[in-house]
Each structure stands twice: as structure tokens, then as C-alpha cells.
Chains A and B, each alone.
Chain A
Amino acid sequence: DAGVIQSPRHEVTEMGQEVTLRCKPISGHNSLFWYRQTMMRGLELLIYFNNNVPIDDSGMPEDRFSAKMPNASFSTLKIQPSEPRDSAVYFCASGPMGGPYEQYFGPGTRLTVT
């Protein structure tokens, strides 16, 4: 069974550009999480979806960040406009129940904003 799939794996963009990160969760999982990882702040939860509905977006840093989950097999995280401080590794994780008891992480997208 395929794990969580994220694309692209690497993204380099210029400040001010729009960035869209994509995630395909494991089939049958109904929880989806977006995280950001940096050396300074570690792994931080950005947003959590349950059954495609955003439950908690309190971790989204600013209005420049938005996330959608149009169906059970696809989610996007968009940054518009991007800034150098957004440079980080962004992870998507999915889980089989309505909670994070088991989280399966994707390989991450390394974003560099110049």
C-alpha cells in the first residue's frame, strides 16, 4: 500500500510568488495534518482536517497561508505571497481515526524562498 504522497519534493521560488504544496493521504484515512519543520521551531502543526473538514487552523501562521481538502484523497497547502521566512520542510500526515493516535507522515516538501 502506498504511503502518504507529497509533491513536489523540493520547491525553490522567489519572494512574492505563490506556492502550492500537494498531499495524497493514505486511502481510508480520515484525518489529515499539515506540519512545518524548521531547525529553530521544530515540528509545528499548521492545520488539521477530519473527514475533509478543517477542524483547527490555529497553527496557520498568517492569512498568507491557506489549506483545502476538496476530497478524501487530496489536500493542498498554499502560500501567497511567499516570504523567505516561509522556508522550511512541510509535511503532510494522515491517520486512520478521528485523532492523531497513529500518524503516517509523507516524505515532506522542502521549500526555499529566496
Chain B
Amino acid sequence: TQLLEQSPQFLSIQEGENLTVYCNSSSVFSSLQWYRQEPGEGPVLLVTVVTGGEVKKLKRLTFQFGDARKDSSLHITAAQPGDTGLYLCAGPSGTYKYIFGTGTRLKVLA
């Protein structure tokens, strides 16, 4: 059974701090996606990483896919209150299914 474990589960930081959240599995994934979900809304896709070792940047967010394609990280530089939300990683399981990680709930305090 493929599982995606995310850490930490909860993170509360001050505005301006840097942070990294992790998504780990014992299984190899052909790609991984990261989503952000704000309270009362559905998840919104941030990025898809497909190549081992790949690094993608989205403004202050940096996403990395592990060389072995079993893990991924999301680094946020100079966090802002608008970054608050639930961060989910997701990986394909079969032709059309994606399984979602356990999530990291981030709160950035002004």
C-alpha cells in the first residue's frame, strides 16, 4: 500500500521566518504534486514535480523531488500570513488515482 507521510503535522511560525515541510514514502512515485488548501476551500494545485532531483520555484516557494523519487520537500522563504493553510502532497496510484498525504497545517502569525 502506498502511503505519503507529511511532517510536521502542525507548524506555527512568525511572519518573515523560513520553513520546510516534508513528504515521505517508502514507495517510488513517477511524480508528486503539492496543493495548498485554505480554510473553507478546496485544495489548489501549486506544482507537479516529475524528475528525480528536480527543483521548481514558485515565487517564495521552492519544491524539490528526491533523487530516488520517494520524497519531496517544500521550502517557504520569508513566510507571510497569506501562506497559512493546509499543505498536501499527492502522488499517482495507478492510471487515474492520486493518493494524498496526511498534510501539514501551517499558521503564519503577523
Contact = CB atoms under 8 A, between A and B. Distances in A.
Interface of A: 4, 31, 42-45, 48, 50, 55-56, 91, 93, 98-108
B100 A103 contact: no
B42 A42 contact: no
Given A42-B103, A108-B41, 15 more contacts: A42-B101, A42-B102, A43-B88, A43-B100, A55-B96, A56-B96, A91-B42, A98-B96, A100-B92, A100-B98, A103-B45, A104-B45, A105-B42, A107-B40, A108-B42
B62 to A, nearest CB: 21
Given A42-B103, A55-B96, A56-B97, A105 B44 contact: yes
A101 B41 CA distance: 20
A105 B43 contact: yes
19 contacts: A4-B42, A42-B102, A42-B103, A43-B43, A43-B100, A43-B103, A45-B97, A45-B99, A55-B96, A91-B42, A93-B42, A98-B96, A99-B96, A100-B96, A101-B48, A105-B43, A106-B42, A107-B40, A108-B41
B29 to A, nearest CB: 13
Contacts of A42: 100-103
B1 interface: no
Contact of B41 (A45, A55, A107): A107
A100 to B, nearest CB: 5
Contacts of B102: 42
